[in-house]
Structure 1
Amino acid sequence: MPHARNEAFIAWMARNGWTALELATSLNAVIREVTQKTSPRGELSEVTVRKWRSGETTWPQGKARMALEQVSGLSAADLGFVPPDRRKHRAAPEDPLRRRTFFTVASAAGAVVLTGAAPSVGSSDVLRLRQQLDTVNALDDQRGGHDRVEKAALAGAAEAVTLQARTATQRTQQRLFSLAADFTATAAWSCVDARERARARQHLDRALYLAGLAQDPSLTMRVWNSVSMLAHQQGDHAESLAAGQAAKATAITRRDPLYASLAHARTAIAHAHLNEDRSALRALDLAACSLAKADLDRPRSSWIAFYGAAELHALTAIVRDRIGDAADAEAASFQALAVLPETFRRNRALTTARLSLAQLHQGDIEQATATTARVFDEMCGAPLPGRVRSLLGEFHRDLITLAPGSATTLDWADRYRTEWSRP
């Protein structure tokens, strides 16, 4: 019997301009980010995607399905996939001993329900929530801050807190608090990225409290890093510097130079906006030295997967442009884009916007306006996160200041104003 083609999936691919090979490549990148595995064994191929299109495969395997949902922003069901009906498969004959064991376990479970005792929490619950968090972070890397990320993160945090009411060891309880803090910090970060500042502040206060209960210096550092970014958005650069210094003071920065590098880079931005150029450049040097000492293959929380040479180049571009060194800012942006993974679409869009600003600040209007077109290409039609829209707004204001009434300025405004200003 011929297979029924998955028309919904085919239409989605056509609508978004995906080829089978390009989609397989993007899905593999998401899976590698989530699983932290670099082996090509078991990766998806264009043949896999073609089987999905033809209907030969009606329900992708777990990791492939997760990646597809993150890339598309849709559920597998919305893409036309149908889960198997397990009732059609006959069960093998039961072993009598296994049957007796089942009834023993079932009776014990029934006793738990009847007596009102809650089942205990164990490693499997923690692992499941950790995988859920990794999936949410992968979605953020793909699309940037939006309410879907925030809602998913807050739901994970609520579940982790709810599990505290059930019997668990102290170690498991601390791990659950860590997860609740991590989820809440992800929700906060999504709001920072979307420039929803009031909600971001509320989530950050909660995340800092939970990180303290978890006694987790990595998450404490994460929260202070986000506080520094939020204060920067609000124009309070003194608070941004203080939060960056609080991040540097956490225990994790003494144990792991990767975290120390990020904290130094964050303070560099604050110093630059306080017109403390020498302190800003010294902080950048410390960030680079710390990064050179870091073991990048060491297992870490998924939230810091974004940070490395590419992100430091991007932050360097911000500092250099701020202190009036637009040429070096442009070079740093090019360096960032050269090594920034394709899966970090939002970060690539931000870096591209920063590149256009550096070119504009050198008076290269034609090149700068051409560069901004790539911002929309990087996001592949997805809604622009608030930070990206804000940078494009800054570009527009600087463009008008530098070349008011010019044909290039008017053409850019006609082509992109509606697109970049759309919520």
Structure 2
Amino acid sequence: MAENKNESLAVWMSEHQMSAAELAQAVNAAIGKFSGRPGTTSERTVFRWLSRQNRWPQHRQRLALEIVTGLTAKDLGFLPRGKSTTLPVHPEDPDVRRRQFFGAAASTAAAAIPLSPPSARPSRVGTSDVIRLRDDVARLVALDAQRGGHGLEQAALDGATEALRLQRNSTTQRVRQRLFALAADFTATAAWSLIDAGRLDGAGRHLDRALTLAGLAQDSEMAMQVWNLRAMLARQRRDYAEAVAASQAAQATAIARRSPLHTSLAHARTAVGFAHSGDARAALGYLSRAEDALSKADLTQPKAAWIAFYGPAELHALTAIVRDVVGQPAQAEAAAHRALAALPKTYRRNRAHTTARLALTQLHQGDIEQACATSGEVFTIMAGAPLPGRIRMLLGDFQRDLIARAPSAHIANEWTDRYRTEWSSS
């Protein structure tokens, strides 16, 4: 029954893809850091925590769990005996300081990952190091969703360097593979930073490297992430044949074959490629497949950080692109509105991008005044942050279409004059 299982701990372990044996190893390593002697927590102990046979771990284990997870024992679902106590994080733990430092850095434009010097790291590397780096990837992804990927390239590359350095001292083959996968994730994030900023020249090199690292990790999810970004890069370069081929390579990954969520994203990306290629029938066919696959996905299951953005809102946004490109702007406008209604507030950059797309759909229907008003909302949404290069290019498309479709040059000139300062200073 639910009351006889520690759901909070089970969910954390699932989200971090950690087995009971690996959690025990991480707890023992953390104990060793602050006490000088590794702990003796066993896999059986973790099972007792999960089944609530042990509702309140020993003090050293509670402190180690907090160091490993960044959560309090109560947040992890443990129930104190008698009067509750607050378990402070060990003040000298370098991993906790690193998480706090990164959280503060995420609010700044620099957003660099502060890596501890090599001398501060143990010679043996294990699951706790994997968790720490995975948390760093998640923070980069969250920062990207808030203000765009621009400026995150170096932080991501630093994370990749750290993951590769640690894998040389990793304790097991599984940990080594996870560190390779994290290096691939960081490197793909660096590529995305360039793609989102519209700086396309270096992105392909990062993606080539990320694909190699994904192969070393034997991680099909990381391989799919790379192919997904490769499709986006090709589309921005207007190489639509490569965009379709990359999307189809994403479809062929093992993760896409077994996960409806990943299948849906690969089909949707293929639909975008075919739409830009001028093959409306194929585009709409793949769009239908994407919708069907997403309807079969369990959206309550934990997702990898890189694909956390994908769900009904993103599929609506991609539908708006496909429908508009194939000449169905009214259906595209409806899809864009559905996307904006479903988007979480934290996805500010995606909201701005979809709003720019909405303006284009309105313009393509001849609703000039409404389109101009909608496009202006983009600057309001991104106020206080630089305008990502992809959105700049989209607004450039809007300006060109406005000049071509407006009944008088005055309307286009007025739009340009009104937003020139915000556009050029972003």
Is 2:159 aligned against 1:180? no
The code of the aligned residue for 1:70 comes to: A
Match of 1:338 in 2: 341
Residues 176-205 of structure 1 show CA distances to partners (whole Å, capped at 9, x for unaligned) of 000000000111111111111111101000
Aligned equivalents of 1:273, 1:411: Cα separation in 2? 30
Match of 1:195 in 2: 198
Pairwise CA distance, 1:293: 0.5
1:396 pairs with one of 399, 406, 409: 399
Match of 1:279 in 2: 282
Aligned equivalents of 2:170, 2:275: Cα separation in 1? 50
Alignment of 1:9-28 (within 5 A): none
Pairwise CA distance, 1:138: 0.8
Aligned equivalents of 1:311, 1:71: Cα separation in 2? 25
Aligned equivalents of 1:238, 1:419: Cα separation in 2? 35
Match of 1:140 in 2: 144
Match of 1:56 in 2: none
Match of 1:253 in 2: 256
Residues 50-70 of structure 1 show CA distances to partners (whole Å, capped at 9, x for unaligned) of xxxxxxxxxxx9988865643
Aligned equivalents of 1:216, 1:120: Cα separation in 2? 23
Pairwise CA distance, 1:408: 2.4
Alignment of 1:85-100 (within 5 A): none
Pairwise CA distance, 1:299: 1.7
Cα gap change, 1:405 to 1:64, in 2 (>3 Å): farther
Cα gap change, 1:341 to 1:213, in 2 (>3 Å): same
Residues 207-231 of structure 1 show CA distances to partners (whole Å, capped at 9, x for unaligned) of 0000000000001000000000000
Pairwise CA distance, 1:330: 0.6
Match of 1:242 in 2: 245
Pairwise CA distance, 1:173: 0.3
Match of 1:351 in 2: 354
Alignment of 1:104-183 (within 5 A): 119-147=123-151, 149-183=152-186
Q: How many residues align?
A: 327
SS at match of 2:106: helix
Aligned equivalents of 2:313, 2:107: Cα separation in 1? 22
SS at match of 1:198: coil
Kept in 1: contact 2:187–2:207 (CA 8 A): yes
Match of 1:26 in 2: none
Q: Which moved more, 1:62-71 or 1:182-191?
A: 62-71
Pairwise CA distance, 1:407: 3.1
Kept in 2: contact 1:118–1:167 (CA 8 A): no
Match of 2:34 in 1: none
Match of 1:269 in 2: 272
The code of the aligned residue for 1:144 comes to: G
Kept in 2: contact 1:185–1:222 (CA 8 A): yes
The code of the aligned residue for 1:277 comes to: A
Residues 358-386 of structure 1 show CA distances to partners (whole Å, capped at 9, x for unaligned) of 00011111000000111011112210000
Residues 28-74 of structure 1 show CA distances to partners (whole Å, capped at 9, x for unaligned) of xxxxxxx9x9xxx89xxxxxxxxxxxxxxxxxx99888656434547
Residues 253-289 of structure 1 show CA distances to partners (whole Å, capped at 9, x for unaligned) of 1111000000000000111111111111110110001
Q: Over the residues paired in the alignment, what is the CA RMSD in angstroms?
A: 2.4
Gaps of 5+ in 2: 1-68, 77-96, 112-118
Match of 1:365 in 2: 368
Aligned equivalents of 2:257, 2:309: Cα separation in 1? 20
Alignment of 1:209-228 (within 5 A): 209-228=212-231
The code of the aligned residue for 1:211 comes to: A
Q: Which moved more, 1:246-255 or 1:400-409?
A: 400-409
The code of the aligned residue for 2:325 comes to: R
Kept in 2: contact 1:141–1:345 (CA 8 A): yes
Alignment of 1:375-394 (within 5 A): 375-394=378-397
Cα gap change, 1:167 to 1:256, in 2 (>3 Å): closer
Kept in 2: contact 1:389–1:421 (CA 8 A): no
Aligned equivalents of 1:390, 1:265: Cα separation in 2? 21
Aligned equivalents of 2:401, 2:100: Cα separation in 1? 44
Cα gap change, 1:353 to 1:157, in 2 (>3 Å): same
Residues 105-144 of structure 1 show CA distances to partners (whole Å, capped at 9, x for unaligned) of xxxxxxxx9xxx9711111111111111111111111111
Match of 1:307 in 2: 310
The code of the aligned residue for 2:300 comes to: D
Q: Which runs of 4+ in 1 moved over 6 A?
A: 61-65
The code of the aligned residue for 1:180 comes to: A
Match of 2:297 in 1: 294
Aligned equivalents of 2:262, 2:140: Cα separation in 1? 21
Aligned equivalents of 1:327, 1:308: Cα separation in 2? 22
Kept in 1: contact 2:126–2:170 (CA 8 A): no
Match of 1:70 in 2: 106
The code of the aligned residue for 1:160 comes to: A
Cα gap change, 1:192 to 1:313, in 2 (>3 Å): same
Aligned equivalents of 2:201, 2:246: Cα separation in 1? 17
Percent identity of paired positions between Structure 1 and Structure 2: 58
Aligned equivalents of 1:67, 1:288: Cα separation in 2? 36
Cα gap change, 1:169 to 1:65, in 2 (>3 Å): closer
Kept in 2: contact 1:178–1:211 (CA 8 A): yes
SS at match of 1:380: coil
Aligned equivalents of 2:147, 2:99: Cα separation in 1? 19
Cα gap change, 1:309 to 1:254, in 2 (>3 Å): same
The code of the aligned residue for 1:268 comes to: A
Match of 1:327 in 2: 330
Pairwise CA distance, 1:345: 0.6
Aligned equivalents of 1:397, 1:279: Cα separation in 2? 28
Cα gap change, 1:220 to 1:260, in 2 (>3 Å): same
The code of the aligned residue for 1:378 comes to: I
Residues 385-423 of structure 1 show CA distances to partners (whole Å, capped at 9, x for unaligned) of 000000001000110111264432221110112322446
Kept in 2: contact 1:71–1:142 (CA 8 A): no
